[in-house]
Amino acid sequence: MTTTYELALGSLLLTGGTVLGSDGPVLADVLIENGIITAIGQGLNAPDAEVLDVEGCTVGPGFVDLHTHLREPGKEQAETIETGTRAAALGGFTAVVAMPNTDPVLDSAFVVRAVLGLGATAMAEVAVAGAITVGRNGQELAPMAELSKLGVMLFTDDGTGVQNGGVARRALDYCRGLGATYAEHCEDLGIAAGGVVHEGYWSSKLGLPGQPASAEEAMVARDLLLAGELGARLHLLHLSTEGSVDLVRRAKAAGIKVTAEAAPHHFTLTDASIASFDAVYKVNPPLRPAHHGDAVVAGLLDGTIDAIATDHAPHTPETKDLPFDEAPPGMLGLETAFSLSYERLVLGEGLAMEGLFDLLSTNPARIAGLDAQSDRPFGQSEHGGRVTVGRTANVVVIDPRAAWTVEGSSLASLAQNTPYEGRKLQGVVRHTILRGEVVVRNGEPTR
Ligand code: NCD
């Protein structure tokens, strides 16, 4: 299926920013006409264009989130495609991959088509990850070939790992045949044994059931073995332990076709937060001691982990206010991902801004099949890469000098379950441009 997108008419001139171009950052203006970047240079003149003065800001490719829970269909009280993509645009994302753990599950052509249809006019482009198994039941394979014909490039039972190694092996083999990627939520439920937090000091002290790091690592190891044996492409979702990072590092060195993502909460929070017993800190995989977050950061810096993904998981206050062990896991992420990553990786570790854009835009665009080189079989425009003439204008403008304070009630998400309430963050998303349309102007959504 091809959803043909529309390019915004009219012209837009971004003046005086630092542009992440093909030869590195340059001080330049960027002219966008009818949705396409048509000129980059100093002192550009376009009398009819809307002018945005972006002096002091970075102009880069819009971010791409590999892991967004849009909750539609089924949990529209927590988020919808409209509100979730508005949050995405405010966070600087021009494309998101919608996770399939909806109700009904994204395991049939009918539901996938419906989500793509609603996404076609959204404030960020929507790609879909299809379920691996029917109803995410872990047993019977979903009609992967049919979903692949619609353009599904990633398959996952996210929310649950595929527990049966035989089913995982068969699905990996199917994905290989279809040219798709098998994406795993790594959690061995037998080892996790119902643990709702990381097993360690805080779980013991607070008397909350813990799950050990090995619950994640055992499935990472299994899937790496299977992917290596089959020559299949594997993507590992929300990696959170030192051992997982180490396994992926070794697998990459051995030539296994694996990519991995990490979520900002795993490298900016620790399990000490759960001492509040506030379920806003409950998430899967659980928050862990700082050395795990440090290992994730090392993995992001040395290329072991390819992408930062939000795992944006909205939940209503009614469910998040339940006692810790009963509340659902998950936290908001779209609107805070850039600032958190900028603070930790650029300000904290000295990563170049371009490196951060690789993690938030170029690499996830490639993994999702949304980059210029891919077929983009849903018909989306190209994402990631560098800001160059001739490309579709999917662009974000960042102001690294500005700071903001997180307020759950001011976020665009329907849900408010941010673990960063009241926290002052450095780095602001000023403008987001989707196919030439300014969808966020000065930090405000335009629709
Ligand atoms: C996600 C959700 O709420 O759908 N929750 C979470 O804690 N991460 C599921 C998932 O991504 O595992």
Which atom of ligand 1 is nearest to 160's Cα? 12
For residue 446, what are the contacts with CB-CB under 8 A and spacing of at least 6?
A: 437, 438, 439, 440
Q: Return the pLDDT at 4.
A: 63
Q: Measure the CA–CA gap between 12 and 437, rounded to whole angstroms.
A: 9
For the stretch 319-372, pLDDT in tens is 999 999 999 999 999 999 999 999 999 999 999 999 999 999 999 999 999 999
Which atom of ligand 1 is nearest to 67's Cα? 11
Q: Return the pLDDT at 3.
A: 47
Architecture of the domain spanning 62-379: Alpha-Beta Barrel (3.20)
Q: Which residues of the chain have pLDDT under 70?
A: 1-4
DSSP state of 359: I
* CA end-to-end distance (rounded Å), the chain: 27
Whether 248 contacts 386, CB under 8 Å: no
Is 386 a pocket residue for ligand 1 (Cβ < 6 Å)? no
Q: Return the pLDDT at 375.
A: 84
Q: Measure the CA–CA gap between 66 and 178, rounded to whole angstroms.
A: 20
Q: What is the 3-state composition of the chain as percent helix, strand, coil, each rounded to the nearest 5?
A: 30, 25, 45
CA of 301 to the centre of ligand 1 (A): 25
> Strand 210-211 relative to strand 424-434: parallel, antiparallel, unpaired?
unpaired
Q: Return the pLDDT at 1.
A: 40
* CATH fold match for the domains 11-59+388-445 and 62-379: no
Q: Measure the CA–CA gap between 447 and 436, rounded to whole angstroms.
A: 15
Q: Return the pLDDT at 379.
A: 81
CA of 285 to the centre of ligand 1 (A): 8
DSSP state of 131: P
Q: Measure the CA–CA gap between 313 and 328, rounded to whole angstroms.
A: 10
- What is the DSSP code string of 203-218? HHHHT--EE-THHHHH
For a pocket test of ligand 1, which of 69, 235, 312, 414 has the largest count of ligand atoms closer than 8 A to its C-beta?
69
For the stretch 112-166, pLDDT in tens is 999 999 999 999 999 999 999 999 999 999 999 999 999 999 999 999 999 999 9
pTM for this prediction: 0.98
Q: What residue ranges do the domains of the chain occupy?
A: 11-59+388-445, 62-379
Is 408 a pocket residue for ligand 1 (Cβ < 6 Å)? no
Is 158 a pocket residue for ligand 1 (Cβ < 6 Å)? yes
Q: Which of 338, 309, 344 is nearest to 58 (CA)?
A: 338
Architecture of the domain spanning 11-59+388-445: Roll (2.30)
Q: Which phi-psi region, left, alpha or beta, contains residue 111 (left: φ > 0; alpha: ψ -120 to 50)?
A: alpha
Bridge partners (DSSP) of residue 260 are: 236
Whether 224 contacts 231, CB under 8 Å: no
- What is the DSSP code string of 263-291? -HHHHH--GGGGGG--GGG--SSPP--HH
Q: Return the pLDDT at 303.
A: 98
Instruction: Calculate helix-pair angle for 214-230, 242-253, nearest 10 degrees.
Output: 10
Is 285 a pocket residue for ligand 1 (Cβ < 6 Å)? no
Q: Which residue has the tokens 């992967």?
A: 144
Q: Measure the CA–CA gap between 416 and 418, rounded to whole angstroms.
A: 6
CA of 399 to the centre of ligand 1 (A): 30
Q: Return the pLDDT at 219.
A: 99
For a pocket test of ligand 1, which of 75, 101, 103, 332 has the largest count of ligand atoms closer than 8 A to its C-beta?
101
Q: Which of 302, 327, 298 is nearest to 315 (CA)?
A: 327
Is 69 a pocket residue for ligand 1 (Cβ < 6 Å)? yes
Which atom of ligand 1 is nearest to 185's Cα? 12
Q: Which residues are catalytic?
A: 311
Is 240 a pocket residue for ligand 1 (Cβ < 6 Å)? no
